[in-house]
Each structure stands twice: as C-alpha cells, then as structure tokens.
Amino acid sequence: MTTVWLVDRQFDSKGLVRLTYATEDGERMHTKELAEQRLVTGDGITAGREVEETALGESPADEVERFASEASKMAAEHDLDDTV
C-alpha cells in the first residue's frame, strides 16, 4: 500500500466531485469520484489514504511540483484519517 494525500478537488455540473490524491513527491496520483451529496451525508473526505500501487497513475508533468507541495503540506498538518 502507498500513502497519498489530498491535493485537489474539483466539482462538476453533474454533481460529482473529483478528488485527487498524490504521493509526497508529486510523481504519482490517485483519483476518486463521488457524488457531491456524499460530502454532506457521508463520513467526509480524509486528508490522506492508503491505496494499492496498481491504483496509482503518473501525475501530469505540469502538476508534479504543485502536487508535491500540496501533499507535503497535508502530510505535515494532518493525520491520514483527518477529515478535511
């Protein structure tokens, strides 16, 4: 399992939220989509999560630096299971 940290969330017009988690070096990422309603009724979004290596993709080259910065901040300020 690999630890990834929340680095981005995007809302779309269809009521979906795309969460992007990345490794602290910003090189690898994992995305998860969920219904916006789940943000209200669910357990919330965690600062980080553990994912299988096979669930990780390569981060876009133009996002690696930003993802690394955001992931490092999240890791320094939050526990993995903190709701953010």
Q: Where are the domains of the chain?
A: 2-77
Report the first-to-last Cα separation within the chain, whole angstroms: 22
Half-sphere exposure of 5 (CA within 13 A, CB side): 22
pLDDT at 38 over 90: no
Strand order in the sheet with 2-11: 48-51, 2-11, 16-22, 28-35, 57-58
The more confident residue out of 34 and 51 is 51
pLDDT 10s digits, 68-79? 999 999 999 999
